């Protein structure tokens, strides 16, 4: 794989990755905005309206026909949260020219531009009827968060932990805010984002890299854009652990622990935290898997996750409601063990090997690779997956212990079934 990168002073970022191993190429255009209550719902809504058509492609059917004719190209919208940032991504994956028997790259770039900038370039704005339909779809999407109980319990834990802070906001917005969004509000927020906010254009495919990057730049241009940075700190003082229980019609209880790691993830301490995470609940021989699942037989899953953009760790497991105390104590015991340096060779090795496999596997997935470099760009680091592994290898047990000793258990959230305990 060959890589070219261009970052301009005015926040237009271009990256090209050229590789002939794949049958599918990928183009991604991402905008970054601050995650704030007054606009997060609008930012989630306008991409949904854009893919409904514009003056060039009059409706979804026309858009989908173009995609179908590109051998079932897939147009996707992703709305993410990274720290206090809201990330809006338009992605297009399409068949490599060699297999399509025709040139699709330039077609794909132009098509994506027509989707994103169509309403501005071809005039016409948004249609009220389409806005109403998509408001309804977005409402359903936000409401359907409760369908996935594992993720829901994690999200609720974060919401409680960060109450009043922007990190507590859901990346796709709030149902209460939807109603009041007018056509003009939405259009003006849309224009602000696609014309003024930092833009990242990333292409992955079987081309000459100079050609790919200059073509992408030619199509998406260079506008004067704002500089937006993430806030990596938590911003709320820690008093004592909060215990919150909520009830729902569920078969299995879900426990989520929100931990303040007190680790500055923009420094090399982040790598110590990563190793801790591997040992605690990410690797196949992690303490949580081994002791909560395998030995105590309390659950089917128990894992931990760290955030690159906030000093937070979340631990999650699904248990019988009556085992709440037992499971909570056992989970906390695993952290205590790490604090005391009680880490076996196999646990350490398993974590390091887990990361090696996970990091090297990134090279085999264009989607993962683009995601990796985008995250790196947001933290102003330009390390490669393999460099991350090199850094992890140097982490000592005492450093992991040191990180564990900074932990503060902020919130314990329990989603349980209705009725007596």
The residues pairing with 78 across neighbouring beta strands, listed in sequence order, are 89
By CB under 8 A, name the one of 298, 313, 338, 370 that touches another protein.
298
Alpha-carbon gap, residue 289 to 298, rounded angstroms: 10
Can residue 60 be called a binding residue for another protein (CB under 8 A)?
Answer: yes
Q: Which among 371, 34, 333, 42 is positioned nearest to 182, based on CA atoms?
A: 42
List all residues 6 or more positions away from 176 whose beta carbon is below 8 Å from its beta carbon: none
Strand partners, 86: 33, 81
Q: How far is the CB of 191 from another protein (least distance, A)?
A: 24
Helices 385-393 and 345-361 cross at an angle (nearest 10°) of 170
Sheet holding 2-7, edge to edge: 2-7, 12-18, 199-205, 24-34, 85-95, 74-82
Q: Residue 274 CB, nearest distance to another protein (Å)?
A: 16
Write down the H helix ranges in 70-127. Answer: 97-100, 105-121
Stretch that binds another protein, among 105-113, 119-127, 216-224, 345-353 (CB under 8 A): 345-353
- Residues 198, 30: Cα–Cα separation, whole Å: 8
Among residues 6, 22, 127, 332, the one that binds another protein under rule CB under 8 A: 22
List 2, 10, 21, 128, residue binding another protein (CB under 8 A): 21
71-100 residues near another protein, rule: CB under 8 A: 71-73, 93, 95, 98-99
Q: Is 397 in the site for another protein (CB under 8 A)?
A: no
Q: Give min distance, CB of 213 to another protein, in A.
A: 22
> b/e per residue, 36-58, with b = 16+ CB within 10 A?
eeebbbbbbbbbbbbbbbbebbe
Task: Please state, in angstroms and rounded to a whole number, the distance separating the CA atoms of residues 367 and 19.
Answer: 13
Residue 241: CB minimum distance to another protein, A: 25
Residue number, 135 or 272, with CB nearest to another protein: 135
Could you give the string, one character per residue 213-252, with x where binding to another protein holds by CB under 8 A and - elsewhere? -----------------------------------xxxxx
Nearer to another protein, 9 or 147 (CB): 147
**Distance of alpha carbon 320 from alpha carbon 250, whole angstroms:** 11
Number of Cβ atoms within 10 Å of the Cβ of 251: 9
Residues 156-215, interacting with another protein (CB under 8 A)? none
Considering the complex, what minimum distance in angstroms separates the CB of residue 151 from another protein?
A: 11
- Give the residue, chosen from 149, 191, 308, 326, that forms a contact with another protein under the rule CB under 8 A: 149
Q: Which is nearer to another protein, 362 or 412 (CB)?
A: 362
Q: Is 144 in the site for another protein (CB under 8 A)?
A: yes
- At residue 157's C-alpha, the angle toward residues 155 and 160, to 5°, is 110
Please tell me whether residue 146 binds another protein under the rule CB under 8 A: yes
Nearer to another protein, 67 or 332 (CB): 67
Please identify which residue in 2, 23, 37, 393 interacts with another protein, judged by CB under 8 A: 23
319 binds another protein (CB under 8 A): yes
Name 199's Cβ contacts closer than 8 Å, sequence gap at least 6: 11, 12, 13, 29, 30, 31, 220, 223, 225
Contacts of 321 (CB under 8 A, 6+ apart): 253, 416, 417, 421
Note whether 59 binds another protein by CB under 8 A.
Answer: yes
Shortest spacing between CB 20 and another protein, in angstroms: 9
Tell me which H or E stretch contains 142: helix 128-143
Binding-site residue total for another protein (CB under 8 A)?
A: 66
d(CA 137, CA 41): 12
Contact flag: residue 357 with another protein (CB under 8 A)? yes
The DSSP code for 206 is: S
Phi, psi of 71 (to 5 degrees): 55, 50
Of 327 and 378, the one with the shorter C-beta distance to another protein is 327
Question: Which range binds another protein by CB under 8 A, 106-114, 117-125, 146-154, 264-272?
Answer: 146-154
- Candidate list 78, 80, 127, 141; residue touching another protein; CB under 8 A: 141
Q: Which of 7, 120, 358, 379 binds another protein (CB under 8 A)?
A: 358
Question: Does 364 participate in binding another protein (rule CB under 8 A)?
Answer: yes
The residue ranges that bind another protein (CB under 8 A) are 21-24, 59-61, 64-65, 67-73, 93, 95, 98-99, 133, 136-137, 140-141, 143-150, 248-252, 283-285, 293-294, 297-301, 318-320, 346, 349-350, 352-354, 356-358, 360-361, 363-366
């Amino acid at each position: 794989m060959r890589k070219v990168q261009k970052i301009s002073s005015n926040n237009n970022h271009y990256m090209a990755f050229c590789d002939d191993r794949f049958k599918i190429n990928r183009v991604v255009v991402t905008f970054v905005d601050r995650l704030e209550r007054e606009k997060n719902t609008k930012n989630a809504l306008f991409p949904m309206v854009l893919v409904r058509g514009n003056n060039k492609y009059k409706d979804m059917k026309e858009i989908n026909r173009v995609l179908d004719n590109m051998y079932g190209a897939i147009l996707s919208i992703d709305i993410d949260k990274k720290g206090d940032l809201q990330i809006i991504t338009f992605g297009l994956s399409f068949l490599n020219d060699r297999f399509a028997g025709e040139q699709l790259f330039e077609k794909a770039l132009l098509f994506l531009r027509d989707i994103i900038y169509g309403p501005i370039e071809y005039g016409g704005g948004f249609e009220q009827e389409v806005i109403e339909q998509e408001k309804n779809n977005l409402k359903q999407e936000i409401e359907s968060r409760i369908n996935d109980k594992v993720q829901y319990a994690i999200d609720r834990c974060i919401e409680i932990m960060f109450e009043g802070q922007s990190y507590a906001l859901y990346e796709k917005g709030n149902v209460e805010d939807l109603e009041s969004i007018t056509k003009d509000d939405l259009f003006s927020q849309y224009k602000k984002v696609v014309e003024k906010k930092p833009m990242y254009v990333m292409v992955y495919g079987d081309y000459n890299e100079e050609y790919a990057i200059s073509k992408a730049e030619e199509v998406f241009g260079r506008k004067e854009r704002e500089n937006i940075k993430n806030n990596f700190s938590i911003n709320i003082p820690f008093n004592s652990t909060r215990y919150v229980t909520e009830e729902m019609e569920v078969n299995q209880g879900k426990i989520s622990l929100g931990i303040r790691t007190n680790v500055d993830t923009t420094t090399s301490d982040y790598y110590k935290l990563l190793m801790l995470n591997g040992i605690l609940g990410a690797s196949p021989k992690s303490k949580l898997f081994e002791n909560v699942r395998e030995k105590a037989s309390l659950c089917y899953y128990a894992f931990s996750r760290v955030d690159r953009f906030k000093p937070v760790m979340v631990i999650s497991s699904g248990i019988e409601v009556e085992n709440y105390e037992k499971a909570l104590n056992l989970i906390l015991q695993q952290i205590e063990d790490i604090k005391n340096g009680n880490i076996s060779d196999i646990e350490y090795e398993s974590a390091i090997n887990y990361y090696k496999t996970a990091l090297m596997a990134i090279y085999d997935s264009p989607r993962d690779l683009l995601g990796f470099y985008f995250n790196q760009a947001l933290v102003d680091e330009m390390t490669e997956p393999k460099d991350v592994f090199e850094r992890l290898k140097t982490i000592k047990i005492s450093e992991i212990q040191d990180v564990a000793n900074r932990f503060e258990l902020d919130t314990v959230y329990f989603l349980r079934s209705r009725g007596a305990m």
